[in-house]
Amino acid sequence: MSSLSHERFLADHVRTLPRSGIRDFFAIVQKMPDALSLGIGEPDFITPWNIREAAIYSLEKGRTSYTDNLGLLACRKAVTRYIERIFGMSYHPEKECLIGIGVSETMDTALRAVINPGDRVLYHEPCYVSYAPGIRLAGGIPVGVPTYAENQFSLNVEDLEKAWQPGTKALILNFPTNPTGGVVERERLERIARFAEEKDLLVLSDEIYAELTYDGEHTSIASLPGMRDRTIFLHGVSKAFAMTGFRIGFACAPHAIIEAMMKVHQYCIMSVPIFTQEATIEALTHADDSVAEMRASYQRRRDFLVRRFNAMGLPCHLPQATFYTFPSIAGTGLNEHTFATRLLQEEKVAVVPGTAFGPSGAGFVRASFSTRYEKIEEACDRMDRFVGKLLQAPLEAVR
Ligand code: PLP
């Protein structure tokens, strides 16, 4: 071990950045082989065989080179055709599309391409853990806008208006939402779009869970009148296609924005691995049935898990999309951190404290259903036992 203190070498803005709460929690879970995890945010399915085969075939053909910085043109064409087919939006594959390392890198690239030091960026929370740190790393000021269980964690324009200040440049949207499964219906989305227009905001719309919508229809904000010009549409194959390890995401936006993103991407990443881009072409053109099968399986698990939560006394709305539930644990008398820690210690079930996703997650935990049905059943039995004891305790104290 070195005796040198390395703190002084670290950049201030990185040293002061908190570690993800999920990461620390899961370091503990990994050391418990008999733990049942409802904590993970990735599909339990293996990538469909035809997609894996396309990756293998690509390597077999000796496709091992760099590609165009924007991504293989054939992959960009597959992406824009897919977006037209599924989202009804048209983008030029040569000028308005960039292939990146998951939505993670395309979001980071987008932020670094558009944020000047001190620009304010609105985002709704509870939300995916990367947004606020990503805004900070780009030099911006993150401004969280709360969403509420009362309206299933959709986003109120009134709350956006309250959070807006001069110097606000962009708005990050993530519908359907990780960790709440929140969605926005079209009329509400139209109001958000009008707000973005009025305030002249650029919208960064992360729609990675769009295909995992069970009730109603997903609408992209970029498809609303006037919004294509002020939206960076971000999507990828990780979730719906069970391709997290392939690390593919894409951004579609007006040419000048893609060109600026390309510069950031070029100097940082150069290009995405060619064989995972070729596998993505297969995914976007020949995997609709696999996606539908996985979606049906998630929906069955969702219905079961939400029913069990409500029955055991953890009020939980029915998420209309994603593979996450967000039950309230407020009635147990524990805060979300103690609840998750004790549940793990006493019953070996892992869920994520809601505040890992922002302060409005207080009183909630995230439990994902991207886990086998039988495991979810067993986890529910254990949780039932744990929650039963907690809910009984206050009654006994009264007696
Ligand atoms: N955006 C959201 C809302 C997510 O939940 C995740 C992963 O959990 C990502 C982006 C990152 O996805 P990718 O694998 O495409 O980098």
Which atom of ligand 1 is found nearest the CA of 209?
3
Instruction: Assign 60 a pLDDT band (cuts: 50, 70, 90).
Output: very high
DSSP state of 177: P
Q: Is 252 left (phi over 0), alpha (psi -120 to 50) or beta?
A: beta
Name the average pLDDT for the chain: 95
Alpha helices in the chain (DSSP H): 12-15, 21-30, 49-60, 73-87, 102-114, 131-137, 157-163, 186-198, 255-268, 274-286, 288-312, 336-347, 373-398
Q: Is the pLDDT of residue 26 over 90?
A: no
CA atoms within a 13 Å half-sphere pointing along the CA-CB vector of 240: 24
For residue range 222-273, list pLDDT tens digits in order: 999 999 999 999 999 999 999 999 999 999 999 999 999 999 999 999 999 9
What pLDDT score was predicted for residue 19? 81
Domain ranges of the chain: 11-46+289-391, 63-286
Total residues belonging to the chain: 399
Q: Is the pLDDT of residue 33 over 90?
A: no
Which atom of ligand 1 is found nearest the CA of 42?
8
> Where do we find the tokens 């040198």?
4
Query: How far is ligand 1, taken at its centre, from the CA of residue 218, in Å?
Result: 18
On whether the 63-286 domain is CATH 3.40.640.10, my answer is yes
For residue range 287-314, list pLDDT tens digits in order: 999 999 999 999 999 999 999 999 999 9
DSSP state of 204: E
Share of the chain above pLDDT 90, in %: 90
DSSP-derived 3-state class of residue 89? coil
Distance CA 351, CA 338 (A): 11
For residue range 198-231, list pLDDT tens digits in order: 999 999 999 999 999 999 999 999 999 999 999 9
Instruction: Assign 398 a pLDDT band (cuts: 50, 70, 90).
Output: very low
CA atoms within a 13 Å half-sphere pointing along the CA-CB vector of 279: 30
Q: How far is CA 22 from its chain centroid? A: 13
Which atom of ligand 1 is found nearest the CA of 177?
3
Q: How much is the average pLDDT of 86-90?
A: 97
Instruction: Assign 4 a pLDDT band (cuts: 50, 70, 90).
Output: confident
Query: How far is ligand 1, taken at its centre, from the CA of residue 312, in Å?
Result: 30
CA atoms within a 13 Å half-sphere pointing along the CA-CB vector of 199: 24
pTM (2 d.p.) = 0.95
Same CATH topology for 11-46+289-391 and 63-286?
no
Protein residues with CB under 6 Å of any ligand 1 atom: 41, 102-104, 128, 174, 178, 206, 208, 236, 238, 244, 249
Query: How far is ligand 1, taken at its centre, from the CA of residue 130, in Å?
Result: 9
Q: Is residue 134 within 8 Å of residue 172, measured between CB atoms?
A: no
Query: How far is ligand 1, taken at its centre, from the CA of residue 223, in Å?
Result: 21
Q: How much is the average pLDDT of 369-373?
A: 96
Pocket of ligand 1, candidates 109, 147, 178, 248: which has the most ligand atoms within 8 Å of its Cβ, to mutate?
178
Query: How far is ligand 1, taken at its centre, from the CA of residue 134, in Å?
Result: 13
Task: Choose the CATH number for 11-46+289-391 among 3.30.1490.20, 3.40.50.720, 1.10.357.10, 3.90.1150.10.
Answer: 3.90.1150.10
Which atom of ligand 1 is found nearest the CA of 248?
15
- Burial class from Cβ neighbours inside 10 Å (0-12, 13-18, 19+) for residue 31 reads exposed
Q: How far is CA 300 from its chain centroid? A: 21
Q: Is the pLDDT of residue 359 over 60?
A: yes
What pLDDT score was predicted for residue 28? 80
| Region of poorest pLDDT, from 3-17, 133-147, 271-285 | 3-17
Query: How far is ligand 1, taken at its centre, from the CA of residue 104, in Å?
Result: 6
